[in-house]
Structure 1
Amino acid sequence: MDEVVILGGARTPIGAFQGALGTLSAPQLGSAAIRAALERAGIALERVDEVLFGNVLSGGVGQAPARQAALGAGLPHSVPCTTVNKVCGSGMKTVMMAAQAIKAGDASIVVAGGMESMTNAPYALPKAREGYRMGHGQLLDLMIHDGLWDPYDDCHMGTCGDSTAAELGHSRERLDEFAAESLRRALAAQAEGRFDEEIVPVPVPQRRGDPVVVSTDEGPGKGNPSKLPSLRPAFGKEGVTTAGNASSINDGACALVVAAASVGGTPLGKIVGYTQHAHQPDRFTTAPAFAVEKLLAKHGLSVGDIDLFEVNEAFATVALAVADRVGIAADRLNVNGGAVA
């Protein structure tokens, strides 16, 4: 069985909510990432066997978001495309699916990734089709309704974060300290140019004049650690999750070229393994910790065998839950900062 490798990758800058990338759709951002990833991998467009792309906030995006992104990048019409909606895990799931397709012999080169424009998520009128005969109506924010709301417990995902923090004893001070460190690391990575090889600059058309080229993440520059202690809880008076120790609302896209080793080229790395973990929806905050444990056990590895860990900072409490349960040292976790920044 052929080894599965990553031949190239690219991401757009991460744009702030209603920020520099706000006028571009998710597929437009995806196109920029796909095009750059293939160029960096040295893979001709017509060699791609399939495109698998994550997109959660698909309301108003139009039919087949992944295909829009692929065709926008210049791929031939003959390339099959599939959109994956797995909330926080959409992009990672596409990479897993790409590896599986290659191992099964169904493909040799797959573009995998994800894209979101939270800025452009629309509002919906749920009863507009049948008509508002009497009484007040409601506008639904699809960014929250489709992306940030737990439909089973009928609460914001941030409320679940607060519950986890209370259960695990994560104090407001500890969460804010983690957030401040995430920001410090992200700013240091920016200053030292550690993100430069990842990012593809994105030209944003203007009403007048030349396009404005966006080439750096917007979030870290807006952060101010000194204000963290004064921020109000976002999901309840007694909560500890704030806008400062939770991930930001943003826009962006990322793409990887996943291929069989026999394709050739100089890989960035190989995919050794992957796994998943699922349990109660309101406990999503702790699922990554169990996934890490399962993956290490699957391959006979220990935490000490791994040099660096990247854990999604949906909320500071998520990353801390993983670090505490698995036993990951702070200097090996999210070394360039994370989503909280």
Structure 2
Amino acid sequence: MNGCPDLRDSVATVIAARRTPIATIGQRLADSTVDGLAAVSLGATVADARRSLGRDVPLGDVILGNCMGPGGNTARVASLAAGIDVAVPGMTVDRQCGSGLAAVLVAAEQIAAGSRAMRLAGGAESASTAPTRVASRGAYARAAFAPDGFPDPDMGPAAEALAVSHGITRQAQDAYALRSHARAVAAREAGRFADELAAVGDAASDDGPRAMSRAVLARFAPVFASGADGTVTAGNSCRVSDGAATVALVPDSERGVAPGLALIGSATVGCDPATPGLGPVFAIESLLASSGISLDAVEAVEIVEAFAAQTLAVLSEVGLASEFAVDDRVCADGGALALGHPWGASGAVSVVRLFSRLVRAGRPAGTLGLATAAIGGGMGVAALFRVVR
């Protein structure tokens, strides 16, 4: 981890991981506030952690990522709403779409610094209840990702530019979106999401994965470029969504026999703000170089699928996709293209998914998993985990 002790021998382990259902903006979770969503996920996570440990471990902090909330320290509000003791502090971090994963890494840094208390970390987003931001010039959709003098593209046009620069066709993007939906539908029907979900009221399942076809996807018009020149559509892009995801981390000295995911390395890097979608490429390369681990040794990869074009550009750069195929290790149960993308939560959703794919699925000790996300403004984050039992 950048600036921290070498974590190849691990100092922090994820022993519990939960998430709420993910719902499209304005739909089933539209009345749930961001702290309300986070409180549900936090409550389920801490209960799982205590069952796994077989005892009540002191809780040191609650750290949540969030991009567009109302302020007021979402992590603290959600912590209290979840019934966590008033003596436990809370901190909210904003690293845009990498916020949920960044929060997990901050929690691990606290443990690496010597704390023996458990940490709850993750992220939450309620696009449905996010406030309208107003400045002297009036309401605006988002704050700048970069200052004047730097490129500052929205992520959609940036994905369209990557499709052009990397020669990623509309057909390839639609095929990847179809893959994501098909795998998520299969995972839902097989019950592979069941143990990670914490119901919010009557909402107990994701509303996103759908039975798609190439014909259906072909009907969507380009969104960010006109006419035949455009390839990025609503069908091969993520949906803006509501949801929360959290994990519990403990020091190895407190883990006992609880199975989990030991964090063995991470990297957070900057890149050209003009191509923010490529951030994961540089984060993955930095992480693998510092850890001395080959990507071939990694069994499961979770990338935040913001856009099919952006995801394919990253995967092709790191050797996980070609013109004809995507590596089966990538988002094996689908990703954000199917489930939706609650910005501040999605990085943490990736860790929850790794926990289900590797720990809940009974993969042997030593199995490796990788989580990564692109970040607006030209950044990338990646984290490497190892199964411990």
- State TM-score, norm by structure 2: 0.77
User: Is 1:311 aligned to residue 308 of structure 2?
Assistant: no
Counterpart CA distance in 2 for 1:256 and 1:164 is 33
**Residue ranges of structure 2 left out of the alignment (5+ in a row):** 1-8, 321-325, 339-389
Q: CA deviation at 1:277?
A: 1.9
Counterpart CA distance in 2 for 1:277 and 1:124 is 28
What do residues 126-182 of structure 1 show as CA deviations (whole Å, max 9, x unaligned)?
33xxxxxxxxx85434xxx149x7765354220111111111111111111100111
Of 300-309 and 100-109, more deviation after overlay is shown by: 100-109
Match of 1:232 in 2: 221
Picking from 266, 272, 285, the partner of 2:264 is 272
Q: CA deviation at 1:330?
A: 1.9
What do residues 182-204 of structure 1 show as CA deviations (whole Å, max 9, x unaligned)?
1100100111010011101111x
For 1:1-341, what aligned pairs fall within 5 Å after superposition? 3-42=11-50, 47-58=58-69, 61-127=70-136, 138-141=138-141, 145-146=142-143, 152-203=150-201, 213-221=202-210, 225-237=214-226, 238-265=229-256, 266-328=258-320, 329-341=326-338
Counterpart CA distance in 2 for 1:294 and 1:249 is 29
Q: 1:114 to 1:45 in 2, by over 3 A?
A: farther
Counterpart CA distance in 1 for 2:129 and 2:56 is 29
Kept in 1, the 8 Å contact 2:68–2:131? The answer is no
Q: 1:108 to 1:324 in 2, by over 3 A?
A: same
Kept in 2, the 8 Å contact 1:150–1:156? The answer is no
Q: CA deviation at 1:68?
A: 0.6
Q: 1:62 to 1:299 in 2, by over 3 A?
A: closer
Q: CA deviation at 1:46?
A: 7.5
Q: Deviation above 3 Å: which 4+ runs of structure 1?
A: 43-46, 149-155, 221-225
What do residues 203-247 of structure 1 show as CA deviations (whole Å, max 9, x unaligned)?
1xxxxxxxxx11111111385653211211111213211111111
Aligned residues, how many? 317
Root-mean-square deviation (CA, aligned residues, Å) is 2.1
Q: 1:298 to 1:176 in 2, by over 3 A?
A: same
**Residue ranges of structure 1 left out of the alignment (5+ in a row):** 128-136, 204-212
Q: 1:156 to 1:264 in 2, by over 3 A?
A: closer
Q: CA deviation at 1:318?
A: 2.3
Counterpart CA distance in 1 for 2:174 and 2:198 is 31
Counterpart CA distance in 2 for 1:310 and 1:2 is 20
Larger strand proportion of the pair: 2
Identity %: 32
Q: CA deviation at 1:108?
A: 2.6
Counterpart CA distance in 1 for 2:230 and 2:146 is 17
Q: 1:107 to 1:93 in 2, by over 3 A?
A: farther
Amino acid in structure 1 at the alignment position of 2:327: A
Q: Secondary structure at the match of 2:275?
A: helix
What do residues 36-91 of structure 1 show as CA deviations (whole Å, max 9, x unaligned)?
00001117788210111001002xx2411110111111111211211001101001
Counterpart CA distance in 1 for 2:235 and 2:21 is 20
